[in-house]
């Protein structure tokens, strides 16, 4: 036991003396959280719009006021004719133009029907979509309230509610993904590189010729990273709670236990990579291409799995990150207990067994 | 009792033969040297002995333990210093030593007496990172690390390669005192002049052992007289000597050329006449005692 501890201490020396490792361990998680939190966001805030009001009546004024007071939009251009619309979009001074038809209020009163024309800059398709749906939601809301006062029968009102994330906050989406990404990077990438480094520098030769068992070498290598990743999980949760106001609905203990399970899985993937490569660069590339990209793209982190082509969906299903993201979302956002995540937990356990068995079988007690 | 016994070891990497039918044994408490150029198979042999490589065929035992079956026991008892500097460059001198002590479940204090002579020389730098040490100091640290668990046999793979002449001399002094303390030492080196510092040497070339004996017996069994010849034009001298009808072998050795004659019919006067006639100037011809390198060259020629 004592010689194992000596090994772990040595590993901590390596970590705390390598600036790059330290940066990846402690600075990257915070930077990533802040980046995803503030920069990568799907929310609309102060979108510039133009108003072309052919009617200039009470109703159109009220709707315009409502759009502005929602906080989503700022009116930067007031247009007077259709000809100006093109120019507005071309010099990118607005994202959307709202056109009210002539005699808007009159038509609404008389026919119960009036037309608004929404023209959006769809060179950025996602935000165009969002802007248009936000605008139409505000207009519909207004019309419905007016109609309610008028008490016209047979009104069908559609009311939607966004469960678990009422305000459609981006932070709800990126925290689970970012946490997954950071754990994968630290556990898999750093451990694989650190084991391969011993091979590359020739120190593995001495370690192998010593009484240390292969399992002790492996566990001694990954132990510090497991501890430090767990520290990171806590940092991320604190950041998301206090900086971004993301509450944890479910059991925090369960969340931490599941995180530990995922840390274990990522470590075993890292070990597996290290047993199959002999240079730090290859290990790094394999971790980057084989783990980081799938975690970002093929896990439901950013793009929903259901919308992908079938082949990519298969890839998502063998990607451990997919399951962990589901687990975090279920616990953090939906507040589900263990019964809500047992299937995913089982998959993670199975993957751990698979990778550890493969690594132990591939680990060489001798040189090649 | 023999500490190391190797019988008919073969090892090849795909098509390249690294070791061919190696057989030897090392007595307890001797310095046994493997002398041979790079690529002779020294490292492969050492790795087999310290259980890091499996031989293709043949049998080897270290302290009576089989290198294949009993590898776990052997790993506890031998000290191994690989040819490449294999310590942690980002750890200090003291941290490296402590690390190797702990993984062998011992402490520096417990075996300090064993490494005292060596370690005391680098102790002033114990807080320095191993990567910042000079070549000679690195080797001393590596030797200390290989010794800290009080091994019964030391395997040192080219410990003096890349080390300056003074440090090399010191290093061999240390090996001698370790031998006197009862530790069996198996060492390899590409430097022929270090052969005389071993108790017995094996000359190894292309994966085969050419000869095993005490260094002075190897040189005394050379059986031919050697002339060391020098002139103003070494290149021409080499050519002219090899064209000389009585020439058996001729090799350049620094500023001199070592020459032996067929059937040992050596005649300094005739040779001098022959070379002067060919226009050699500042000619110098001296009879010398054969050294290990002469023996190595002639054994190599015989083998091929």
Token pair of A31, please? Answer: 């930077």
pLDDT above 90 covers a percentage of chain B that reads 54
pLDDT digits (tens, 9 = 90+) for A103-113: 888 887 887 77
Shared-domain flag, residues B203 and B253: no
Asked whether the predicted pLDDT for residue A218 surpasses 80, the reply is yes
Q: Is A364 on the interface with B (CB under 8 A)?
A: no
| Residue span of the structural domain in which B283 resides | 222-303
Of B40, B10, B58, B17, residue with least CA distance to B202? B40
Of A115, A118, A111, residue with least CA distance to A147? A111
Instruction: Report chain A's mean pLDDT, rounded to a whole number.
Output: 85
Chain B CB contacts of A203 below 8 Å:
86-88
Given the DSSP bridges, would you call strands B31-35 and B200-205 parallel, antiparallel or unpaired?
A: parallel
pLDDT at A149: 62
pLDDT above 70 covers a percentage of chain A that reads 92
Instruction: Report chain B's mean pLDDT, rounded to a whole number.
Output: 90
Spatial distance between the Cα atoms of B98 and A6, rounded to a whole number of angstroms: 8
Handedness of CA B15, A203, A215, A15 (dihedral sign): negative
pLDDT at A167: 61
- Name the minimum distance, in Å, from the CA of B124 to any CA of chain A: 21
3-class DSSP assignment, residue B284: strand
Shared-domain flag, residues B35 and B122: yes
pLDDT digits (tens, 9 = 90+) for B181-219: 999 999 999 998 899 999 999 999 999 999 999 999 988
pLDDT at B159: 92
Q: Alpha carbon B267 to chain centroid distance?
A: 35
Contact between chains at A18 and B78 (C-beta distance less than 8 A): no
Shared-domain flag, residues B248 and B128: no
Rg (CA), chain A: 28
- Name the minimum distance, in Å, from the CA of A193 to any CA of chain B: 15
Q: What is the CATH number of the domain that holds B289?
A: 3.30.70.100
The ipTM assigned to this model is 0.85
pLDDT at A174: 79
Asked whether the predicted pLDDT for residue A162 surpasses 70, the reply is no
Q: Beta-strand (E) ranges in B148-255? A: 153-157, 184-189, 200-205, 208-213, 226-230, 247-253
Q: Mutation test of the interface with chain B: which of A209, A215, A364, choosing the one with the most B Cβ atoms within 10 A? A: A209
Spatial distance between the Cα atoms of B165 and A291, rounded to a whole number of angstroms: 51
- Paired strand residues for A330: none
**Which residue, of B184, B219, B254, is where some domain finishes?**
B219
Shared-domain flag, residues B56 and B188: yes
Shared-domain flag, residues B55 and B172: yes
- Name the minimum distance, in Å, from the CA of B87 to any CA of chain A: 6
Asked whether the predicted pLDDT for residue B79 surpasses 90, the reply is yes
pLDDT digits (tens, 9 = 90+) for B176-191: 999 999 999 999 999 9
3-class DSSP assignment, residue B76: helix
Token pair of A337, please? Answer: 């207990």
Shared-domain flag, residues B156 and B256: no
Token pair of B188, please? Answer: 């390899």
Q: Confidence class of residue A157 from pLDDT cuts 50, 70 and 90?
A: very low
Angle in degrees, 0-180, between the axes of helices A320-328 and A342-362, rounded to the nearest 10? 150
Asked whether the predicted pLDDT for residue B61 surpasses 60, the reply is yes
- Name the minimum distance, in Å, from the CA of A17 to any CA of chain B: 7
Better-scored residue on pLDDT, B298 or B30: B30
Q: Confidence class of residue A155 from pLDDT cuts 50, 70 and 90?
A: very low
- Average pLDDT in the A17-23 region? 89
Shared-domain flag, residues B207 and B226: no
Better-scored residue on pLDDT, A156 or B131: B131
Q: How many CA atoms lie within 13 A of A186 on its CB side?
A: 30
Which residue's structure tokens are 């009422």? Answer: A166
Shared-domain flag, residues B96 and B180: yes
Shared-domain flag, residues B210 and B286: no
Most confident of A93-97, A159-163, A301-305: A93-97
Domains of chain A, residue spans: 2-40+169-362, 47-150
- Tally of domains in chain B: 2
Residues 278-317 of A with CB under 8 A from B: none
pLDDT at A242: 87
Better-scored residue on pLDDT, A169 or A310: A310
Q: Is A5 on the interface with B (CB under 8 A)?
A: yes
pLDDT at A40: 63
Indicate the range of A142-146, A165-169, B33-37, B63-67 predicted with least confidence.
Answer: A165-169
Given the DSSP bridges, would you call strands B226-230 and B2-13 parallel, antiparallel or unpaired?
A: unpaired
pLDDT at A170: 65
Contact between chains at B88 and A203 (C-beta distance less than 8 A): yes
Shared-domain flag, residues B52 and B163: yes
Shared-domain flag, residues B241 and B258: yes
Contact between chains at A366 and B53 (C-beta distance less than 8 A): yes
pLDDT digits (tens, 9 = 90+) for B220-249: 888 888 889 988 888 888 888 888 888 888
Spatial distance between the Cα atoms of B243 and B275, rounded to a whole number of angstroms: 11
pLDDT at A306: 83
Asked whether the predicted pLDDT for residue A154 surpasses 60, the reply is no
Q: Alpha carbon A35 to chain centroid distance?
A: 11
Angle at B205 between CA B200 and CA B206, to 5 degrees: 145
Contact between chains at B82 and A205 (C-beta distance less than 8 A): yes
Better-scored residue on pLDDT, A365 or B173: B173
pLDDT at B25: 94
Q: Is-contact A236 A179, C-beta < 8 A?
A: yes
Asked whether the predicted pLDDT for residue A217 surpasses 80, the reply is yes
- Average pLDDT in the A169-187 region? 82
Contact between chains at A209 and B50 (C-beta distance less than 8 A): yes
Q: Is-contact B51 B191, C-beta < 8 A?
A: no
CA distances from B250 to A54, B35, B118, B228 (A): 109, 21, 42, 10
Q: What is the CATH number of the domain that holds B10?
A: 3.40.50.300
Output the CATH code of domain A47-150: 3.40.1710.10
> Helix, strand, coil % (nearest 5) of chain A?
70, 5, 25
Contact between chains at A210 and B52 (C-beta distance less than 8 A): no
Shared-domain flag, residues B158 and B235: no
Better-scored residue on pLDDT, B27 or A83: B27
- Average pLDDT in the B268-283 region? 86
């Amino acid at each position: 036991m004592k010689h194992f501890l000596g090994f772990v201490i040595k590993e901590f020396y390596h970590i705390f003396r390598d600036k790059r490792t330290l940066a990846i361990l402690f600075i990257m998680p915070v930077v990533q959280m802040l980046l995803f939190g503030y920069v990568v966001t799907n929310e609309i805030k102060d979108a510039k719009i133009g108003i072309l009001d052919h009617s200039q009546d009470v109703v159109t004024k009220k709707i315009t006021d409502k759009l502005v007071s929602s906080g989503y939009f700022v009116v930067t251009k007031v247009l007077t004719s259709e000809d100006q619309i093109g120019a507005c979009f071309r010099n990118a001074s607005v994202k959307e133009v709202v056109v009210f038809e002539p005699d808007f209020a009159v038509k609404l009163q008389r026919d119960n029907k009036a037309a608004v024309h929404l023209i959006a800059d769809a060179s950025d398709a996602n935000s165009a979509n969002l802007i248009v749906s936000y605008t139409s939601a505000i207009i519909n809301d207004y019309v419905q309230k007016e109609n309610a006062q008028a008490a016209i029968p047979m009104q069908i009102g559609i009311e939607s509610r966004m469960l678990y994330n009422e305000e459609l906050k981006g932070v709800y989406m990126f925290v689970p993904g970012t946490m997954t990404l950071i754990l994968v990077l630290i556990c898999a990438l750093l451990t694989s590189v650190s084991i391969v480094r011993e091979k590359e520098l020739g120190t593995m030769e001495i370690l192998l010729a010593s009484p240390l068992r292969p399992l002790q070498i492996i566990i001694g290598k990954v132990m510090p990273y497991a501890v430090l990743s767990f520290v990171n999980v806590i940092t991320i949760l604190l950041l998301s709670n206090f900086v971004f106001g993301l509450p944890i609905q479910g059991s925090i203990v369960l969340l931490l236990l599941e995180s530990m399970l995922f840390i274990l899985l990522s470590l075993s993937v890292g070990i597996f990579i290290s047993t199959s490569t002999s240079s730090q660069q290859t290990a790094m590339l394999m971790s980057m291409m084989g783990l980081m990209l799938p975690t970002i793209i093929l896990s439901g982190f950013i793009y929903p799995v259901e919308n992908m082509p079938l082949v990519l969906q298969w890839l998502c299903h063998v990607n451990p990150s997919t399951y962990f993201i589901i687990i975090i979302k279920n616990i953090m956002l939906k507040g589900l207990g263990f019964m809500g995540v047992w299937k995913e937990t089982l998959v993670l356990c199975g993957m751990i067994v698979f990778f550890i068995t493969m690594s132990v079988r591939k680990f060489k007690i001798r040189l090649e | 009792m023999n500490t190391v016994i190797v019988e008919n070891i073969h090892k090849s990497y795909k098509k390249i033969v690294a070791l061919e039918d190696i057989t030897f044994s090392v007595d307890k408490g001797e310095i046994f040297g493997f002398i041979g150029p790079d690529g002779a198979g020294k490292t492969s042999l050492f790795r087999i002995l310290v259980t890091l490589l499996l031989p293709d065929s043949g049998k080897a035992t270290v302290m009576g333990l089989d290198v294949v079956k009993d590898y776990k026991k052997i790993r506890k008892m031998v000290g191994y210093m690989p040819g490449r500097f294999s310590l942690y460059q980002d750890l200090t001198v003291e941290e490296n030593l402590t690390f190797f002590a702990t993984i062998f479940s011992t402490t520096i204090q417990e075996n300090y007496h064993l490494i005292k002579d060596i370690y005391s020389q680098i102790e002033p730098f114990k807080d320095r990172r191993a990567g910042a040490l000079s070549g000679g100091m690195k080797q001393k640290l590596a030797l200390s690390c290989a010794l800290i668990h009080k091994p019964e046999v030391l395997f040192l793979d080219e410990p003096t390669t890349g080390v300056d002449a003074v440090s090399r001399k010191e290093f061999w002094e240390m090996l001698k005192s370790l031998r006197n303390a009862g530790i069996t030492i198996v060492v390899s080196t590409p430097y022929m002049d270090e052969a005389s510092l071993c108790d017995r040497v094996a000359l190894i070339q292309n994966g085969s052992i050419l000869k095993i004996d005490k260094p002075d017996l190897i040189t005394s069994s050379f059986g031919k007289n050697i002339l060391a010849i020098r002139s103003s034009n070494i290149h021409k001298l080499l050519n002219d000597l090899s064209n000389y009808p009585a020439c058996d072998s001729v090799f350049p050795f620094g500023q001199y050329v070592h020459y032996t004659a067929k059937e040992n019919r050596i005649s300094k006067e005739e040779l001098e006449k022959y070379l002067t006639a060919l226009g050699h100037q500042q000619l110098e011809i001296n009879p010398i005692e054969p050294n290990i390198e002469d023996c190595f060259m002639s054994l190599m020629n015989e083998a091929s």
